[in-house]
Amino acid sequence: MGFFDKEVQGSFDRLFDYNRDGVLDVNEQGFQLQYIVDSIEEDDRRRNEDSDFSSSFDYDDDDIDEDDFDMDDIDRDFDGDFDSDF
């Protein structure tokens, strides 16, 4: 056992214990750390892509046209008797 070796603790450590000796040596710890760093960078990249995508759908009040909500042509029958249509 080397100076920087650490005991395997849990399933995440077991993923990187390539020689299955129950100890993570320096190389295996390096692979584990690189996996963690790559995962964090990928998550950050995805969050940035999502925020860029959602920001293109931000609307101001000026973007909404009042004519889009004109409901005068809708036939409304509110006589209070809802069963009359059946």
Q: pLDDT digit string (tens) for 31-59?
A: 999 999 999 999 999 988 876 655 555 55
pLDDT surpassing 90 at residue 7: yes
- Decide if 64 is inside a domain: no
Structural domains of the chain, count: 1
pLDDT surpassing 70 at residue 60: no
The pTM assigned to this predicted structure is: 0.54
- Decide if 84 is inside a domain: no
- Look at 33 and 68; give whichever has higher pLDDT: 33
Who's near 85: CB < 8 A, 6+ residues apart? 77
- Decide if 27 is inside a domain: yes
Who's near 19: CB < 8 A, 6+ residues apart? 25, 28
- Decide if 72 is inside a domain: no
For residues 59-84, average pLDDT: 59
- Decide if 20 is inside a domain: yes
- Decide if 70 is inside a domain: no
